Amino acid sequence: MTSPLEQKKIKLTGPSMVTANRTWDGVVIYRTAQQGWSANLADAAVVRTSDEARALLAESIADDVGAIGAYIAPVDVKDGGKIAPGNLREHIRSEGLTIDLLPVPA
């Protein structure tokens, strides 16, 4: 994955969303169509043109208090409209680590 932090031009390769980390705790969040954030990918607003993406990113960045490091990332839209992460990086951000950790007692 080329890091999206190096994202300069906005050029969509398919359906996309805006994602960031929540400022106070760092949790992964997604920009919703209601101009808010959700920790659930299912709530993400999906954009399909670069103009839409630019607008969504702009309003996301404008919320400097709520979120940090907003960027555009790909999503897969499945049959029935369910959305899934569009690449491995986003998969890991949304589903968590792909590795076994040492056993930590709860």
Partner 1 sequence: MYAYDELDRTLINERVSEFRDQVKRRLSGELTEDEFKMLRLQNGVYLQLHAYMFRVAIPYGTLSSKQLRALARIARRYDRGYGHFTTRQNIQFNWIKLAELPDALADLAEVGIHAMQTSGNNMRNVTSDQWAGVAPGEVEDPRIWSEILRQHTTLHPEFSFLPRKFKIAITASEHDRAAIKIHDIGLRLLKNADGETGFEVLVGGGLGRTPFIGKTIKPFVHGRDILSYVEAILRVYNQYGRRDNIYKARIKILVHELGIEKFSREVEEEWKLMGDVGLTLDHSVVEEVRSRFSYPAYEKLPHMPDELKQAAHDPLFERWRKNSVFPHKVQGYSIVTLSLKPVGGPPGDATADQMDAVADLADKYSFGEIRVGHEQNLCLPHVAKRDLPLLWKALDRIGLATPNVNLVTDIIACPGLDYCSLANARSIPIAQELTRRFANHDTADLIGRLHINISGCINACGHHHVGHIGILGVEKNGEEFYQITIGGRADEGAQMGTLIGPAIPYAEVADVIEDIVEAYLALRDRPEELFVDTVKRLGVEPFKERVYATR
- The interface mask with partner 1, positions 67-86, x = CB under 8 A, is -xx-----------------
In the chain, what is the straight-line distance between the N-terminal and C-terminal CA atoms, in Å?
A: 33
For position 65 contacting partner 1 by CB under 8 A, the verdict is: yes
Of residues 4 through 33, those in contact with partner 1 by CB under 8 A are 5, 21, 23-28
Residues within the interface to partner 1 (CB under 8 A): 1-3, 5, 21, 23-28, 64-65, 68-69, 87-89, 92-93, 96-105
